[in-house]
Chain A
Amino acid sequence: CEGHAVPQARLLQSDRRKTVNSPRCVYMLISSSFLYLSALGMAVGHGIRCLSQLAELPELHQMMRQTCRDYAQKELAPIAAQLDKDHKFPAKQVQELGAMGVMAVEVPESLGGAGMDYLAYCLAVEELSRGCASTGVIVSVNNSLYLGPILKFGTEEQKKQWITPFTTGEKVGCFALSEPGNGSDAGAASTLAHQEGDEWVLNGTKAWITNCWDASATVVFATTDKSLKHKGISAFLVPMPHPGLSLGKKEDKLGIRASSTANIILEDCRIPLGNMLGDRGMGFKIAMQTLDSGRLGIAAQALGIAQAALDCAADYAHKRTAFGAPIGKLQAIQFKLADMALAIESARLLTWRAAMLRDAKKPFTKEAAMAKLGASEAATFVSHQAIQVLGGMGYVTDMPAERHYRDARITEIYEGTSEIQRLVIANKILKEYQQ
């Protein structure tokens, strides 16, 4: 993987010196609260203060979290079961979220976004996923996978054309990297792009593309130079619908059924030269960096699902009586609830830390992989145990536990399987200990 490869140990040392001799940092903390966020960012970067800042989120983030939580409870949770049954895209809710600024959290206000940081985005996705996991993934894909790379690698012209209309919730985007022949093996892209005059012509098939049936644009990765292997992949922006681009049948999935997943088939799909994102051959790097951030969105989604499952189980433990008392009095149930809460809280702190590192523009690849791995495994564990706590009730659709179980499963697979996350983490660790 590409990387920011400064070993952790060396980083802390240099920052320690900065902490002692940095009056600028103190000034920022004293001055207006509006600068609090950047102060927080700086403090995060100084390693040592990082942990104490996590005692409580900044007020802005707390308010934002509360707003998203209220919205999820009132507007998403009541319809989530029906959306799941009907495989229905929550168009109205996506528009409302767009109006709130949640569909483009990190996008600067000048382009129509909310202009907030990645920590705020993770909080938003977690709270929304707590209400409806499908809505959470729709928000996440639009923010991290579609707007993310364009924001980072797009030209000013491209940003205006491909970002601004996608901030309002009217339009959503998608991200086309995986193919029927390769998922984790992203370097082996067999979708080809060749130049004909003043157009790029794309041919190939992309698989497992979230949002594609409801999207108005996509970031597609195609090989421009087969001989260069993964350095020969480039990224392209393709509007949808478009001649030469067609969609496969909607996959009938186990979970997150309200979001559409299908193949994107490109047959002589012609796009202007200006639609290339970044430079020729940069595609793999763009994909990997995008997924680094997207990972946090999925970690947040997994946290939301896990939290919803825990809410369900804990509530049931109070109400259900057996052996003459609420089952919450039984140690077997108590141990389960404790393990569930521990798993969620650990993963949450990892996610927040990775997000804060990213906001401070520090290397965050390892932490992001840990967050995604931790959160997705927490989600499957917690939702599994939640069904166990609910007993028979957990197995039927009357209670949401079975939906959380189904929704949680995909978080260990997409945007980097758990196995890939382990490889990423191991890679970073070995580099740190390089002889």
Chain B
Amino acid sequence: MHRSSEVKHVASYLNTRGCECFGQPCESHCPVLTDRTIHVQLKTFIKIRVKPDRTGVVTDGVKHSMNPFCEIAVEEAIKLKEKKLVKEVVAVSCGPQQVQETIRTALAMGADRGIHVEVSGKDYETLGPLQVSKIFAALAKKEQADLIILGKQAIDDDCNQTGQITAALLDWPQGTFASEMTLEADKLKVVREVDGGLETIKINLPAVVTADLRLNTPRYATLPNIMKAKKKKIANVKPADLGVDVCSRLEVLKVDEPPQRQAGVKVETVDDLVGKLKEAGRV
């Protein structure tokens, strides 16, 4: 189905703050037990450590790569382009210089061009969903995007807020936790994975969609595409240019590792169990 006029381009927001623990779920701060990590048996992983001053986790020397849910989002956007339902796919990421690598990965998968919103140093450490959503809303208006696809959440902070806040700021409909999406005329049919099961909704365009795990399986970049990605453009933008203030409204008081798991206690009967629970004041 050719849609040359309506849907101009899809912007895909990439979160690069996730840490790639070579696929193995890393302890404490990145409890990602998605299907993707289970596949890997090569057990090298980076142990996440809390900084000595307890203001955050150690990020120096930790390899950063594209958030798995964002990979799924990019894949969905490229699939739409291959079906000729959208004209252009733009990959966007906010952060320091290193995020350009992640944008290039998206370009190698098939995105047409990239936008790097430069945020570094202290601003980057305090960058959260609210600021990112503001940046994104501003960009969407500037680029006149028709569809925004993001990963449902980042695997480092697990906030699950950016998509929703972006939609609210733009006053656009949203289809979150999408496990299936179909473009029908100028409406988007989204099947959402919710606690009770699957919910199917129809929303108008322009809209925001957040990708869940089962939306698709992201492709590997092919060598020819990696070479083509070198020639694709990545535009550089600052939050100030978009009129966005990245000052955080939140202050992190402290960051701790989760408490060490203690040994359990075995009881013989249900009465013993109830007794123990009462003792511990839980009942």
Task: Answer whether residue A125 sits at the interface, using C-beta atoms and an 8 A cutoff.
Answer: no
Q: List A contacts of B229 (CB < 8 A).
A: 63
Question: How far apart sit A70 and B108, CA to CA, in the bound complex (Å)?
Answer: 14
Q: Mark A36-74, 1 if CB is under 8 A from B, else 0.
A: 000000000000000000000001101110110011011
Nearest residue, chain B, Cβ from A32: B231
Check B40 against A63 for contact (C-beta < 8 Å). Answer: no
Q: List B contacts of A109 (CB < 8 A).
A: 224
With A67-B221, A73-B42, A315-B44 already in contact, the answer to whether A60 and B22 are too (CB < 8 A) is no
Task: Answer whether residue A25 sits at the interface, using C-beta atoms and an 8 A cutoff.
Answer: no
Question: How far apart sit A365 and B39, CA to CA, in the bound complex (Å)?
Answer: 41
Question: Quick one: which of A92-121 are within 8 Å of B by CB?
Answer: 96, 99-102, 105, 109, 114-116, 120
Nearest residue, chain B, Cβ from A81: B41
Task: Answer whether residue A424 sits at the interface, using C-beta atoms and an 8 A cutoff.
Answer: no
Task: Answer whether residue A323 sits at the interface, using C-beta atoms and an 8 A cutoff.
Answer: no
Give the number of A-B contacts (CB < 8 Å): 70
Q: List B contacts of A311 (CB < 8 A).
A: 42, 44
Check A74 against B39 for contact (C-beta < 8 Å). Answer: yes
With A100-B222, A109-B224, A114-B224 already in contact, the answer to whether A67 and B108 are too (CB < 8 A) is yes
Check A101 against B222 for contact (C-beta < 8 Å). Answer: yes
Nearest residue, chain B, Cβ from A36: B230
Nearest residue, chain A, Cβ from B38: A78
For B, the interface residue count at a CB cutoff of 8 angstroms equals 23
Check A74 against B23 for contact (C-beta < 8 Å). Answer: yes
Check A115 against B105 for contact (C-beta < 8 Å). Answer: no
Q: How near does chain A come to B122, taking the closest CB pair, in angstroms?
A: 27
Question: Quick one: which of B208-263 are within 8 Å of A by CB?
Answer: 220-224, 226-227, 229-231
Check A105 against B223 for contact (C-beta < 8 Å). Answer: yes
Q: List B contacts of A70 (CB < 8 A).
A: 220
Task: Answer whether residue B142 sits at the interface, using C-beta atoms and an 8 A cutoff.
Answer: no
Nearest residue, chain A, Cβ from B43: A315
Pick from A34, A78, A114: contact of B40, CB under 8 Å: A78
Pick from A78, A99, A100, A115: contact of B227, CB under 8 Å: A115
Check B226 against A60 for contact (C-beta < 8 Å). Answer: yes
Question: How far apart sit A116 and B224, CA to CA, in the bound complex (Å)?
Answer: 8
Check B226 against A63 for contact (C-beta < 8 Å). Answer: yes
SS class, residues of chain B in contact with chain A: loop
Q: List B contacts of A64 (CB < 8 A).
A: 223, 226
Q: Which of B108, B224, B226, B230 has the most CB of A within 10 A?
A: B226
Q: List A contacts of B105 (CB < 8 A).
A: 63, 66
Check B41 against A100 for contact (C-beta < 8 Å). Answer: no
Q: List B contacts of A63 (CB < 8 A).
A: 101, 104-105, 108, 221, 226, 229
Q: How near does chain B come to A128, taking the closest CB pair, in angstroms?
A: 12
Q: List A contacts of B222 (CB < 8 A).
A: 99-101, 114
Q: Which of A59, A62, A67 has the most CB of B within 10 A?
A: A67
Q: List B contacts of A102 (CB < 8 A).
A: 223
Q: Mark B179-190, 1 if CB is under 8 A from A, else 0.
A: 000000000000
Question: Quick one: which of B125-170 are within 8 Å of A by CB?
Answer: none
Q: List B contacts of A131 (CB < 8 A).
A: 42
Q: How near does chain B come to A406, taking the closest CB pair, in angstroms?
A: 18
Check B22 against A73 for contact (C-beta < 8 Å). Answer: yes
With A63-B104, A63-B221 already in contact, the answer to whether A33 and B230 are too (CB < 8 A) is yes
With A73-B23, A100-B222 already in contact, the answer to whether A60 and B43 are too (CB < 8 A) is no
Query: Interface of B with A (CB < 8 Å)?
Result: 22-23, 36, 39-44, 101, 104-105, 108, 220-224, 226-227, 229-231
A-B contact pairs, 27 of them (CB 8 A): A33-B230, A34-B231, A59-B101, A59-B104, A63-B226, A63-B229, A64-B223, A66-B105, A67-B220, A70-B220, A73-B42, A74-B36, A77-B40, A77-B41, A78-B40, A100-B220, A100-B222, A101-B224, A102-B223, A109-B224, A114-B222, A114-B223, A115-B227, A116-B223, A120-B223, A311-B42, A315-B43
